[in-house]
């Protein structure tokens, strides 16, 4: 098992637009997901060949007990078929959070002159 690997359970789906779905998960072990806004998680999706296919998605909520992603379908996309057809209670393996594209707090406020 890769470091930071855990299972998530699908607990809800909501269409945000006609083509964008919000998927909500909780960790199967009930622990909160600690992350910094701007980070992502990677789902480890099983392929029919037996290989594991990683797919990364930005987290779309604040840190806490739930994690949310918002995705649009990709025609012929491997993950689209899996994620858009999740049932409540389905579990997925994932790793993360990862990523350094985060907003760092400024140590001193910028000087603004008019």
Whether 73 is covered by a domain: the verdict is yes
Whether 105 is covered by a domain: the verdict is no
Assign 69 to helix, strand or coil.
strand
Whether 108 is covered by a domain: the verdict is no
pLDDT digits (tens, 9 = 90+) for 1-31: 456 899 999 999 999 999 999 999 999 998 8
**Token pair 């949310």 is at which residue?**
68
Residue 80 sits in a domain whose CATH number is 2.40.30.10
> Any bridge partners for residue 70, and if so which?
22
Which residues form the domain of 36? 5-98
pTM of the model: 0.81
Q: How many domains does the chain have?
A: 1
| Spatial separation of the C-alpha atoms in residues 80 and 3, rounded to whole Å | 26
């Amino acid at each position: 098992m890769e470091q930071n690997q855990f299972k998530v359970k699908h607990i809800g789906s909501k269409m945000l637009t006609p083509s964008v779905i919000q998927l909500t998960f909780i960790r199967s072990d009930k622990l909160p997901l600690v992350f910094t806004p701007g980070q992502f998680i990677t789902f480890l999706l099983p392929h029919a060949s037996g290989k594991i296919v990683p797919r990364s998605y930005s987290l779309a909520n604040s840190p806490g007990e739930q994690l949310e992603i918002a995705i649009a379908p990709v025609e012929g996309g491997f993950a689209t078929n899996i994620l858009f057809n999740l049932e409540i209670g389905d579990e997925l393996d994932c790793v993360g959070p990862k990523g350094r594209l985060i907003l760092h707090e400024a140590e001193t406020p910028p000087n603004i002159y008019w």
